[in-house]
Structure 1
Amino acid sequence: MSIDVDFSLALNDRTGKLFLGKDIISTLGTRVTRVRYGRFHEFPQTDFMRRVAGRLTLKETVARVFRPRLSSLLPVIRDPRPTLHLDPLSVVRHRLEARDIVLCHDVGPITHPQYFAPGVHEFYVLAYDQIRRIKPHMVFVSKTTQQEFHRLYGEDYASSSVIYNPTRLGVKEGEGRAVDGVSSRFLLTVGSVGDRKNQARCIEAFAASGLAQEGWQYVIVGQCEPGAEAAIELAKQSAGVIMPGYTSDDQLRWLYRNASGFVLMSLLEGFGMPVIEAIEYDLPCLVSRSSILTEIGGEAMIDADPLDKESIAAGMRSLACLPDDERSRRMAQARTHLANFAREPILESWRHLVERIG
């Protein structure tokens, strides 16, 4: 069976979705006849053209949602082959059919619209309404997301599968370069900075933990999203908190290699790839209790209530003061759990899915 793939998210997205999409397209090989980037059949060759294509694709999406009569002048896309949508949003530009496949990372724009930019909620309302009507083949990156989707949009889809995100190649390879101002004892958070990732409350928790007075630092790395300003301002006022801004790959490797523990107290998470990366670097992790992060990290995770500053502070102290034997036990447990994200079995699941649907 051959399929087409809509990879429009590659025009604007630089998160884990981009790497996953590349992995899927690569592993499907000749099963993929054509890849779409918006209305284009080839990825733009220059960064300028990528931005132009991204803006045009966004404008069409906005028109489909907010100006449907005007957008009706531009025909929707319908290829003769089934289409794999690497993000649900791309279905608004297509005539979706039950034979198509939609990859769902999370339903956060529906359940927690306050954590996203204006308009994102409306985009996904239209996309998921189309998906609910047509009921194509659905693939989810976690059991948590699958359960939440079906709670919201019902059952009886062409199929419903969970295929985890695979570990990324080359995460630990390459030189490391120190980040100015970071000492030998620090906790690390990697991920977009904003309300959704809860860094402001984590900064308050770090201050309450007393670790700064003992010489510890808390390093937060990531690009900005809605709510980042509050976290950045709070970091400036808090002893021991460092937000270095943009970090290169070699600096990020150095941070992972030298951190004493990893913290991810997200209020909403699509998958939590930074937790997988932290485990690969043998870092014990503190994550949000009863969240997708406990599914992804397994029983080796230290957890805390992400809405309770004191709970986070206690978790940070536990992470910083973890005895060597406890650390070794947790990391052995985490590495065993990491087998769930081994690349080849996961990518084989994608090949099998496409062949089965065909």
Structure 2
Amino acid sequence: MMRIGVDIHTVGARQTGNETYIRNLLRQMMPMATEDEFFLYQTKAVALPEWMQQAQLRTVKPHNPLLRIPLAFPWALKKDAIDVALFQYVIPPISSCPMVTMIHDISFEFYPEFFNPLSRKRMQLLIPFAARKSQHVLTVSEYSKRQIVERYGIAEDKVTVTYNGVAETFSPIENQTILDSTLQRFSLDKPFILAVGNLQPRKNIERLVRVYAKLRKKGLIEQDLVLVGQMHWQGHAILAEIEKHQVAEHVKTTGYVTDDELVALYNQADVFVYPSLYEGFGLPVIESMACGTPVITSDVSSIPEVAGDAAVLIDPLSDDALSAQLERVANDAALRASLREKGLVQARKFDWKTTAEKTLSILQRAG
């Protein structure tokens, strides 16, 4: 029997991809490890799902990572006699047990301008350290693996790709009452084009708003544009772009939404657009596909690896490319139907059970 420690401070923190990852991983992995005991370390008393409460729950304070990670965590791992610990991105400088670290991507190394300077400096200092000191590193795509290995000079066999999955809740919905209530909650009208991602420069939403506004003013598309995501660093520039092009009547922002709300929005969108400049994986691409939503996305970083031939790929730095494909997909019902069928097939290639099996194997080997 092994005692497996997991840092779950992102659960309940609305950290989107990082929280989605740890929730879904543990939901699948804990029932598999029948002979192992899980210790889940949180920093705040947030409501946890019932299945998570079956583990040994610990609170590690303070929430401030500059104190929690180097000081509180080593003591907690030692006190609980943990055999192996799983972290995301950042690890304690000293530990009584081997550590496995999930590094989703290292975008801060290649696009430093997209990050708050203080956060960027912290990541550039701590994440390379975690990659080199960890017993093993996990990441979410072959693209991210290549970047981690080359940038940090670590052995290829020390890094394992465990793709993200799609939760079962992401699927086509037939219940019109659920769909209608979600639209009413956010004061939205159909038809609409959907974009999902925190409002920040890396997601390339400014360009999307600019392209959308020109198409709308020329009468080339009829759908509204719905932006789902929390406001992040420099996100105000997106709101300024909406005002600049005078499309506030047709461009709606929802802020953070729950998974259930997101599923309902995917289900009702004519098109899902994800023109991100860089992704370690790009989870919304396969989530939207699993709901049957036609996808337009970028041809850069890990995205083609994830999207396969089930999406329309565009150069995210080209207004013309995005404009041409957005107009095309928004107005071609037959193309949307084809993309829907391809997307449903592509999304089934990614499941959290497989992710959990590979991760558990690595944890057991490391421990």
TM-score range, shorter chain: 0.7 to 0.9
Match of 1:27 in 2: 28
2:306 paired with 1:296: yes
- Does the 8 Å contact 1:190/1:220 carry over to 2? yes
Residues in 2 aligned to 1:248 and 1:34: alpha-carbon distance in whole angstroms: 26
Tell me the residue number matched to 2:234: 227
Residue in 2 aligned with 1:190?
196
Partner of 1:68: none
Matching residue's letter, 2:15: R
1:100-139 equivalences under 5 Å are 100-139=99-138
Q: Which amino acid aligns with 1:81?
A: I
Q: Relative to structure 1, is the Cα distance of residues 32 and 95 closer, same or farther in structure 2, using a 3 angstrom cutoff?
A: farther
Counterpart of 1:238 (choices 226, 242, 246) is 246
Report 1 or 2 for greater relative contact order, CA contacts < 8 Å, sequence distance ≥ 6.
2
Question: Residues 140 and 146 of structure 1 are in contact (CA less than 8 Å); yes or no, is this contact kept in structure 2?
Answer: yes
Task: Indicate which of 315, 329, 336 corresponds to 2:345.
Answer: 336
Q: Does the 8 A contact of 2:12 with 2:47 survive in 1?
A: no
Q: Find the aligned partners of 1:306 and 1:55 in 2 and give their Cα distance.
A: 40
Aligned sequence identity (%): 22
Q: CA deviation at 1:312?
A: 1.1
Which is further off, 164-173 or 294-303?
Answer: 164-173
Indicate how the Cα distance of structure 1 residues 262 and 11 shifts in structure 2: closer, same or farther if over 3 A, else same.
closer
Q: Secondary structure at the match of 2:40?
A: strand
Moved more, 167-176 or 338-347: 167-176
Cα offsets for 1:125-152 (capped at 9, x unmatched):
2223323542521111111111111110
Match of 1:7 in 2: 8
2:262 match: 252
Q: Secondary structure of the equivalent of 1:243?
A: strand
Q: 1:249 to 1:340 in 2, by over 3 A?
A: closer
Aligned residues: 338
Alpha-carbon distance, 1:44 to partner: 1.5
Deviations 1:76-104 (A, max 9, x none): 44534343333112x1x341589321111
Quick one: structure 1 residues 289 and 56, their matched pair in 2 at CA, closer, same or farther if it must change by over 3 Å? same
AA in 2 matched with 1:262:
F
Aligned to 2:297: 287
Q: 1:104 to 1:98 in 2, by over 3 A?
A: farther
Matched residue SS, 1:318: helix
**What is the alpha-carbon root mean square deviation over aligned residues?**
3.0
1:119 aligned counterpart, secondary structure: helix
User: 2 CA distance for matches of 1:8 and 1:244?
Assistant: 25
TM-score by length of 2: 0.81
Q: Superposition pairs for residues 1-358 of structure 1, below 5 Å?
A: 1-2=1-2, 3-10=4-11, 12-29=13-30, 31-37=36-42, 44-45=45-46, 56-60=63-67, 76-77=74-75, 79=78, 80-89=81-90, 91=91, 93-95=92-94, 99-156=98-155, 159-172=158-171, 175-176=178-179, 177=181, 178-179=183-184, 182-210=188-216, 213=219, 214-236=221-243, 237-239=245-247, 240-247=250-257, 251-324=261-334, 326-358=335-367
Question: Alpha-carbon deviation of 1:333?
Answer: 2.5
Q: Please state how far the C-alpha of 1:261 moved relative to its aligned partner.
A: 0.6
Shift of 1:199: 0.8
**Cα distance in 1, alignment partners of residues 298 and 99 from structure 2:** 34
5+ residue gaps, structure 2, are 49-58
- Work out whether residues 9 and 87 of structure 1, in 8 Å CA contact, stay in contact via their aligned partners in 2: no
Structure 1 portions without partners, runs of 5+: 65-70
